[in-house]
Structure 1
Amino acid sequence: MPKKKGSPVFNAGTMGEGPYNKHVHKRAYGAWMCMMQRCYNPRSLSYASAGAKGVHVCDEWLDFQRFAAWYEARDYVPEGSAGAVLARLMGAETNFGPDTCRVVPRELLPALVVSGRSRRGLPGGVNKAAGHRYAAMTMQNGKPCRHEARDTPEEARADYLEARANTLEAEAARLDAMLTDEARTAVAARCAKLRAEAVALRAEGIRAKEERRTAFEAKLQAMQAIQRRGKGKKEAIR
Structure 2
Amino acid sequence: MDEPVGGLRRVPLRTVEVARESGYSVQQVRDLERLGVIPPATRSSNGYRSYTPLHVQALRAYRGLAGATGPVAARQLLAGLRTGTLAEAASAVGAVHVRLAREREEALDAQQALRAIQSEVDGHGYEPAGDAMTITQLAEALDVRPSTLRFWEQEGLVTPERVTSLQVRRYGPAAIGAARIVAALRGAGYGIPAVREIMTSLHRLDGLEKAALILHQRLGQIAARTVALLRAGADLAAVVTSVQEARPSSGD
TM-score, normalised to structure 2's length? Answer: 0.27
Q: Which of 1 and 2 has higher RCO (CA within 8 Å, sep 6+)?
A: 2
More helix by share: 2
More strand by share: 1
User: Higher Cα Rg: structure 1 or 2?
Assistant: 1
